[in-house]
Structure 1
Amino acid sequence: MDIEKLKQWMEVAQNMQGGEFWNNIFDQDFAKQFLDDQPFKTAPESSKGEPREKQQTSQVFPIIELLEGEQEVYVIIELPGLKKEDIELGIAGDVLTIKGINSPIYSQLKRTYSERFTGEFQRQIKLPDTISPNQLNARYWNGLLIVSYPRAYSRVEIIPIDE
């Protein structure tokens, strides 16, 4: 690959990520999502009644959708079967963190096959804006956690210049 093309690609990638591209690439929590081939584990019982480690598909949980409008930003987080008491939401700058626990529905039964994620989870979502917690609005409806906040536009203030 031509070194100039590589430099151009790096510049485009950095501009698309708001200048935080390389910080995000090397951020350990963010990188774990991509480095771990099978991030979700459950512990069903083996045929002898002993717990065994079984890895599920490398699907990310929970699934999210980020929607940006002129006036507001929405993050829709799919949490099927969870109660709002099982969910914790936090914000630090421009990173929204969702964590909780998804308990099995029939924990007394032997799991023969499952594509459902169960267990503890945590996901960090990079938002397009840096916001404070009091700007967030979160509501839980039909297994969807809908988080929204108003867009913050900086108005240019004219500063008088003294002679």
Structure 2
Amino acid sequence: MMYRDSDSWILHADVYGTSDGFEVFVEIPGVHREDIELEVTPLVVKVWGVRKTICQGATALAMEIQTGRFQRDVHLPYRVDTSSVSAELKSGVLHIKLAKQKPVKVVVPVQSRENS
């Protein structure tokens, strides 16, 4: 599922499930690492930032490359461990690795009520 507001453009993303987590690939060609923000919650990966105009100080005669703000929310089917996330930008693709959250075992004491 993706999010888009009226002032931003859409990023394309692929999500793969692995035995221990997820790998998300987001196409962001022409964007520098320092212009990308990444936020991970247990069920959502949010990528946003800005692609700057390539040629400053010139008059554009044709513009097909989208510039400006972008944002993409990727909703995950299972909770992830937000403390073990890695991200790498290579050749215009942001590669995000996420580990599934380990199940938490909770022992619940059973109480008894006697009728008086």
State the TM bucket, normalised to the shorter chain: 0.7 to 0.9
Alignment match, 1:117: 66
Cα distance in 1, alignment partners of residues 58 and 36 from structure 2: 24
How big is each residue's C-alpha offset from its partner over 1:108-142, in whole Å with a ceiling of 9 and x where there is no partner? 22222222110011221111222243121111111
Greater strand proportion:
2
Write out aligned runs for 1:70-81 (5 A): 70-81=19-30
Give the CA RMSD over aligned residues.
3.0
Among the aligned pairs, what percent are the same residue? 23
Write out aligned runs for 1:46-125 (5 A): 61-125=10-74
Cα distance in 2, alignment partners of residues 156 and 92 from structure 1: 21
Alignment match, 1:129: 78
Cα distance in 2, alignment partners of residues 153 and 91 from structure 1: 16
User: Residues 48 and 70 of structure 2 are in contact (CA less than 8 Å); yes or no, is this contact kept in structure 1?
Assistant: yes
Cα displacement (A) at 1:160: 9.5
Distance 1:93 1:159, change over 3 A: closer
Q: Deviation above 3 Å: which 4+ runs of structure 1? A: 152-162
Q: Which has the higher contact order (CA 8 A, sep 6+)?
A: 2
Cα distance in 2, alignment partners of residues 112 and 134 from structure 1: 46
Cα displacement (A) at 1:86: 0.5
Cα displacement (A) at 1:104: 1.0
Greater helix proportion:
1
Cα distance in 2, alignment partners of residues 113 and 136 from structure 1: 39
Letter in 1 for 2:93: L
TM-score (norm 2): 0.76
Cα distance in 2, alignment partners of residues 144 and 115 from structure 1: 19
The number of equivalent residue pairs is 112
Structure 1: stretches of 5+ with no match in the other structure? 1-23, 42-59
